[in-house]
Amino acid sequence: MLYLLAQLFEFEGLANLIRYQSFRAGACLLTALTIGMIIGPRFIGYLRVSQGKGQPIRLDGPQTHLAKRGTPTMGGLLILTSVLISMLLWMDLTSWMVWACIAVTIGFGAIGFFDDYDKVTKRSHKGVSGKVRLTFEFAVAGLAAWLVVDDTVLYLPFMTFGIPLGPFYYVFAAFVIVGAGNAVNLTDGLDGLAIMPVIIASGTFAIIAYLVGRTDFATYLGIPYVEGAGELAILCAAIIGAGLAFLWFNAPPAAVFMGDTGSLALGGALGVIAVAAHHEVVLAIVGGLFVLEAVSVIVQVFWFKRTGKRIFRMAPIHHHFEQKGWAESTVVIRFWIVSIVLAVIGLATLKVR
C-alpha cells in the first residue's frame, strides 16, 4: 500500500527508496516484528481467558508434555496478523503473485483455525477430519497454482535442464503447497521447534526469490528467471519478522502454541513461494527437517498397519528422540542446527548447476 501510494502521489524521494525491494524487505521485517511484539502480550492474555484450559494435551504422548496443560493455542493468529499487515503495507499489490500468496496464507490459516477451534471447544486433539482438511487445502492450493504458474517446466538443482510436465505441473504444484503446509504442521510439536526452521527457510527463500526475480543474477547462476518473483522476498521477510516475535513468546516454556492456524499457513506460504520461484525441489532440501517429520509419520503408520509393529518409539520423529531420553530443549536446538545446515546446502545448489 505504501509502495502504491508513493507512486500514486509522486513522492519522489520516498518512491525512489521504496522501489528497492531490499529496502521494503527490511522495512517489512521490522514492521512485522514490531506489530507482533506490541500486540503479543494482550493477544495471548485474550487467548488464555477465552480458551480456559487451552490446547488439549494427548495422554498417549510424552508424559513431560502434561505439564503444558492450560497453554493457549491459535498463536498463529498473532503471526498472521503481523504478516498480513506488513504485506499490505510494503508489497506491490498489483501483482497476481502477491495475491496468490495472500490467498494461500489466509486460506490455510483459516483451515487451521477451524481445526484448532474444534479441538478447543470439543476438548479433543482430533479436530476436523483429515479428508475435509485436505479437500479445502487442495482447493486453495489449486487456485494459487493456477495464479502463479507461468512455466510448466520442473527445474532441478545441479542440472541445467528441466522436465516439462505440461498440465500435470499444476497438480504437482498443488501437492507441493499442501505437502509443505502439513509437513510444517507435523513439525509443530515442541516449544520453538517449528518456528525457527520456518524462519531459516524463509530467509533462504528470500535470497532465492530475489535472485530469481533479477534477470542478471538468474542468467549468471543458470536459474529460471521469474518476473516479479522478487516481491516474494518481502513476504519472506514478513514471515521472519512475525516468526521472531512469535518465538519471543513461544520460547520454552511457551506462553502460547502456534496451533494449526499458524503451522498450516506458514507451511503453505513456503510452498507457494517455492512454486512461484520454480524451486520446489530446493524447498525439499531447505525444508528437509519438515520432510523428515512427515516421512516419519507416513512410515510409522504404514509399517504399523502392515506388521503391527512400530519403527519409531513415537512419531513424528521429534517425539522418538524425546522417548529416547533427549530433553525437549536438546531436540529443539539440534533440529535447528539441522535446519541451518540444510539451508546452506539449499543455497549451494544455486551455483552448482
SS3 292: helix
Which pLDDT score, from 0 to 100, does residue 188 have?
93
Residue 256 pairs in a beta bridge with none
Q: Give the start-to-end residue ranges of the domains of the chain.
A: 1-151+165-280
170-218 pLDDT per residue, tens: 999 999 999 999 999 999 989 999 999 999 999 999 999 999 999 999 9
> Which amino acid is residue 202, in one-letter code?
S
Give the chain's length. Answer: 353
Measure the CA–CA gap between 24 and 92, rounded to whole angstroms.
10
Instruction: Reply yes or no on whether the pLDDT at 57 is more than 90.
Output: no
Measure the CA–CA gap between 115 and 248, rounded to whole angstroms.
24
Q: Which carries the bigger pLDDT value, residue 177 or residue 12?
A: 177
Under the banding of pLDDT at 50, 70 and 90, the label for residue 119 is confident
Residue 153 pairs in a beta bridge with 164
Contact in structure between 241 and 36 (CB atoms under 8 Å): yes
81-109 pLDDT per residue, tens: 999 999 999 998 888 899 999 999 999 99
Instruction: Reply yes or no on whether the pLDDT at 38 is more than 90.
Output: yes
Instruction: Reply yes or no on whether the pLDDT at 120 is more than 60.
Output: yes
Measure the CA–CA gap between 289 and 297, rounded to whole angstroms.
13
Q: Where are the beta strands (DSSP E) in 85-192?
A: 153-155, 162-164
pTM above 0.75, yes or no: yes
- The predicted model gives 11-31 an average pLDDT of 82
Under the banding of pLDDT at 50, 70 and 90, the label for residue 306 is very high
Which pLDDT score, from 0 to 100, does residue 352 have?
60
Bridging pattern class, strands 162-164 and 153-155: antiparallel
From the annotation, which residues make up the binding site?
A: 185, 260
Which pLDDT score, from 0 to 100, does residue 159 have?
77
Under the banding of pLDDT at 50, 70 and 90, the label for residue 302 is very high
Which pLDDT score, from 0 to 100, does residue 31 have?
97
Count CB neighbours of 27 within 10 A.
19
Under the banding of pLDDT at 50, 70 and 90, the label for residue 135 is very high
From the annotation, which residues make up the binding site for Mg(2+)?
A: 185, 260
Residue 154 pairs in a beta bridge with 163
Under the banding of pLDDT at 50, 70 and 90, the label for residue 158 is confident
Q: Where are the beta strands (DSSP E) in the chain?
A: 153-155, 162-164
SS3 162: strand
Residue 163 pairs in a beta bridge with 154
- What is the number of alpha carbons within 13 Å of residue 111 lying toward its C-beta? 28
- Burial class for 135, CB neighbours closer than 10 Å (0-12, 13-18, 19+): exposed
Q: List the single range of 4-18, 94-108, 147-161, 167-181 with lowest mean pLDDT.
A: 4-18
Count CB neighbours of 301 within 10 A.
12
Radius of gyration of the chain (CA): 20
Query: What is the torsional sign of CA 75, 43, 339, 62?
Result: negative
Q: List the single range of 55-64, 113-122, 317-326 with lowest mean pLDDT.
A: 55-64
Residue 287 has which C-alpha cell?
A: 525444508
247-268 pLDDT per residue, tens: 999 998 889 999 999 999 999 9
SS3 227: coil
